Structure 1
């Protein structure tokens, strides 16, 4: 039976994880249900109502909750409420579930290993320029329950992670988009099969009048589609068929293979929606990309510097890496379990790798025999030595410093944004010093 807002109304609800999403979930439910909060960290919220409703472990263990809303970042196998969550697993839900019960608006939900944020942003801007009341939410943009002034014409572009989808039990999306799948987050999902299943919950939950857009030649996607009988209409997107379209787009942002793949999905969806083609190309030509995602932060006659701090896997870096020449590639952070470097040696002739941080041995093992590798203790020392090496070069070819770490940022930084900002600050310092 289709669930509606009554599934959460007047229920006793625990919100576990009081970051941005958790706080917005509390604000949304506080007048609709008996809501409490808990966080593994000691927090002091500005919201006085929330402050009074935060429980400690002793109080929490005495209450029987009807629903538990969990933050995607929380691993139920490694948190303070692990035993409680395992006993109440069937009562665990996500903010996406709440959204679906209260709003039946049209949504475009985008997931995949790489390209989620960029594709979500492009589609959102395309819809806005076509006069849609589009909201960009989820992993990118605002928490979905923070949106206001929602009408029946409002559409949602949702970036959804495997963690969000894994915890969701009710959520359905009119349009499901799975861009690609390669091994990722295996330290949490344990197996590739579990990871794939989390992604495909998006399609599995769809009804017969829904549509799923999937990459045509992705092996993991093909395998899953062929071994299941999904209700929704499956549209296979050929991501290698955009060369003709690129003649109409003068935006250099779409020169990389990864961004061409993202573009393929947006074009397919736009065609299905019968959007105005002239307006569509105008939007694509002015698209500037996202901060710290293959972002060119410096360009001169002799040097290009690209900040791709968002990169947490080899797969997210390789497409652009193949198109670059004379590359000084900076790698570091926490390596992903199961991640593999798949470029052939012929693609690596112009690449020198500089690995920073304590996980040098792991990265070195995965890149071994394919590239010239140096290692340094931190990002500052790495960049300093790259500038020294560039000075020693006798050729006049344009050099590219490519900061695409292929590892999570949590070894040193709060998030990839903080890492990206720090890199920009270092670049500014070294550029000024080398003038």
Structure 2
């Protein structure tokens, strides 16, 4: 835990008691603050109490006494409209911050020589894989890497600050909206495409939130920026022209004159102006597809900025085990590969998986995002048949009508059974049952992890039944 001492002896409101809220409440209490923790959801409050967090109904408190409101990133801050407690904080002059801002202030309060290194990773897609990959490379190299933020462990639940450590933090746009003091020694901006627009008032607001990852960088720092979409290209060019930090461009599409390129699965370091071929990303089974080539290029650039040598970085890349729910092989049955890509909660994320295979029995559906799956039309030839589930079933069926054979399955269990049966019957050696929903999960599951766990269990049960049948 990272104790937060800034508010010792003062009253602090914590609203939203999910992972980050609980983490903030514990860290503030450890630092001597009087914590008033609350959540509108009764079940969440009960879980918080069970976890040892004392509740205090901040709706009934005198807000003039609060030194700050620590807001969960899942709570509406500005758009589509501020939560009523955010408005109350603004009316009473109470600063609204998040757990990442508490972390940032704790780091900045240390003497410069005692501060850890901070690597921040953001982007619409690929954040989790890149964060985990950077952390893995650093640990393999013997560095004290602490991995968290929007992935795994809440930032304030990570081990206490130490000058020899490196904090590798996945940063969502919601978290970045609530930071002012965060300083990233290395800031990674992977890509940008429309997502969460209701929470940011449109694309401009979404991009502005992501850009906050660079706001406190100096000439000693490094910005690693993707160059594979128009939005991130504009960011890379703008920072190169105006920013104080060193900018390293990365691409899995272009052979860059200066930067890091991962073209056709080969990684090149062109930072000196002369391309150095480093090795094959395709040797790593956990990094399938062009999007993962970009993730590998970003991880390489970040680790080079932390002074790791190329050979050490490549060794780390090639031993990366991958992430659950992101292009994860859940099993192989009768020559058919089953891939769990439950983390693909929008079309842009699903696009990466659909590019990686050519004979796909695609399971999709859930709570659709605003653009649905229409942007995936160029990849329809890779889809042998689609199996639709959840709330978006009718909309997706209409989108795919006349372009891809469709079966409406309703539930994930029926979809897995149907896709497995059809793929096995076809008897083609490259068949893949791909669960890449292109949707949020909340119509049928708690979250994408729960959804992916259910898919994996269904595949494992099917595999076990097949073994018993042939025994």
The normalised TM-score by structure 1 is 0.90
Determine the C-alpha separation between the residues in 2 that align with 1:87 and 1:231: 36
| 1:235 CA drift (Å) | 1.9
| 1:146 CA drift (Å) | 1.5
Question: Structure 1, residues 94-121: CA drift from partner, whole Å, max 9, x if none?
Answer: 1111111112421000011111111111
| 1:193 CA drift (Å) | 1.2
| 1:354 CA drift (Å) | 1.1
Residues 287 and 322, structure 2, Cα contact 8 Å, conserved in 1: no
Determine the C-alpha separation between the residues in 2 that align with 1:233 and 1:269: 12
Q: Does 1:320 align with 2:353?
A: yes
* Partner residue, 1:33: 33
Determine the C-alpha separation between the residues in 1 that align with 2:379 and 2:345: 24
* Partner residue, 1:92: 96
Q: Does 1:75 align with 2:107?
A: no
| 1:79 CA drift (Å) | 4.7
- 1:114-193 matches, within 5 Å, as 114-193=125-204
- 1:225-304 matches, within 5 Å, as 225-226=236-237, 229-240=242-253, 241-242=261-262, 243-245=265-267, 246-247=279-280, 250-300=283-333, 302-304=335-337
Residues 190 and 232, structure 2, Cα contact 8 Å, conserved in 1: no
Determine the C-alpha separation between the residues in 2 that align with 1:413 and 1:348: 30
Determine the C-alpha separation between the residues in 1 that align with 2:58 and 2:5: 28
Of the candidates 224, 249, 256, which is equivalent to residue 213 of structure 1? 224
| 1:215 CA drift (Å) | 0.6
TM-align CA RMSD:
2.6
Worse-superposed segment, 97-106 or 216-225:
216-225
Question: Structure 1, residues 292-314: CA drift from partner, whole Å, max 9, x if none?
Answer: 11100112452100011111011
Question: Structure 1, residues 6-46: CA drift from partner, whole Å, max 9, x if none?
Answer: 85444431111122222221221114323211111121334
Determine the C-alpha separation between the residues in 2 that align with 1:305 and 1:391: 12
Determine the C-alpha separation between the residues in 2 that align with 1:257 and 1:351: 21
| 1:433 CA drift (Å) | 4.5
Worse-superposed segment, 130-139 or 77-86:
77-86
Of the candidates 449, 465, 468, which is equivalent to residue 417 of structure 1? 449
SS of 1:316's partner is helix
**Pair 1:407–1:343, CA change in 2 (3 A):** closer
Residues 345 and 370, structure 1, Cα contact 8 Å, conserved in 2: no
Residues 204 and 231, structure 1, Cα contact 8 Å, conserved in 2: no
Residues 328 and 340, structure 2, Cα contact 8 Å, conserved in 1: yes
Determine the C-alpha separation between the residues in 2 that align with 1:98 and 1:13: 12
Determine the C-alpha separation between the residues in 2 that align with 1:223 and 1:153: 34
**Pair 1:345–1:266, CA change in 2 (3 A):** closer
* Partner residue, 1:12: 11
Residues 342 and 452, structure 2, Cα contact 8 Å, conserved in 1: yes
**Pair 1:375–1:275, CA change in 2 (3 A):** same
Determine the C-alpha separation between the residues in 1 that align with 2:309 and 2:23: 35
* Partner residue, 1:50: 53
Question: Structure 1, residues 319-344: CA drift from partner, whole Å, max 9, x if none?
Answer: 23123132110111111223554345
SS of 1:376's partner is strand
Worse-superposed segment, 59-68 or 159-168:
59-68
Determine the C-alpha separation between the residues in 2 that align with 1:192 and 1:90: 28
Residues 284 and 317, structure 2, Cα contact 8 Å, conserved in 1: yes
Determine the C-alpha separation between the residues in 2 that align with 1:81 and 1:248: 48
* Partner residue, 1:60: 61
| 1:177 CA drift (Å) | 0.5
Structure 1: runs of 5+ lacking an equivalent:
none
SS of 1:321's partner is helix
Determine the C-alpha separation between the residues in 2 that align with 1:362 and 1:154: 48
**Pair 1:258–1:209, CA change in 2 (3 A):** same
**Pair 1:233–1:191, CA change in 2 (3 A):** same
Of the candidates 403, 407, 411, which is equivalent to residue 435 of structure 2? 403
SS of 1:418's partner is helix
Worse-superposed segment, 206-215 or 151-160:
206-215
* Partner residue, 1:383: 416
SS of 2:177's partner is helix
**Pair 1:420–1:348, CA change in 2 (3 A):** same
| 1:166 CA drift (Å) | 0.9
Aligned length in residues:
428
Determine the C-alpha separation between the residues in 1 that align with 2:372 and 2:216: 29
Determine the C-alpha separation between the residues in 2 that align with 1:62 and 1:248: 54
SS of 1:35's partner is strand
